[in-house]
Structure 1
Amino acid sequence: MNTDTPTIPAETANHVLAMFGYGGYPPGRWGQQLLELIAGADIENAALLAQAFPAEVQAVQIAKYDKGGIAQLQAIAGNVA
């Protein structure tokens, strides 16, 4: 991931983990729909969504594409010792 990307809050990490079935806790209905939209977006639309929701897009991309991404999100969320 790019080092210029925003910091992911623990709450966002927990929401993304819950969406992918790795613990955490789910967001509300709107947040769930937003994360599903981001997860299903192609690269161009994900870039557009990142303009308004940078941390959420970054967290979803980490979960989907980064080796060790789930562990990274768990650490951010405080779910790993």
Structure 2
Amino acid sequence: MSTQITDTAANHVLIHTGHGGYPAGSFTTALLRAWEQADYANAARLAAGWPDYAAAFELLAEHGGVDRLKAIARGAA
């Protein structure tokens, strides 16, 4: 993964997916909801604008990704 995941993006993705973290503002919450519903092409468009969130979602899908994302959220990674 080449994109740096910020602790903010990690926390927002974690709470959005029910794994802890802290809530985002209204725009970012709407963005995360859009990501849930996006097909491949639209998810790629979102990733172009918000690469740290895309990387966080990708990491979450990997084996051990939740724990790694939690470490980033705590600033430990």
TM-score band (shorter)? 0.7 to 0.9
CA offset at residue 74 of structure 1? 0.2
TM-score, reference length from structure 1: 0.81
Deviations 1:13-51 (A, max 9, x none): 011111111111010111111012123222221111111
Q: 1:33, 1:68 → 2: CA distance?
A: 27
Query: Mind listing any 5+ residue stretches in structure 2 that lack a counterpart?
Result: none
Matched residue count: 76
- CA shift in 2, pair 1:77/1:58, >3 Å: same
TM-score, reference length from structure 2: 0.85
Matches within 5 A, 1:50-61: 50-61=47-58
Query: Mind listing any 5+ residue stretches in structure 1 that lack a counterpart?
Result: none
Q: 1:58, 1:37 → 2: CA distance?
A: 16
Structure 1 runs (4+) deviating above 2 angstroms are none
% identity of equivalent residues = 38
- The equivalent residue for 1:66 is 62
CA offset at residue 79 of structure 1? 7.6
CA RMSD of aligned residues (A): 1.7
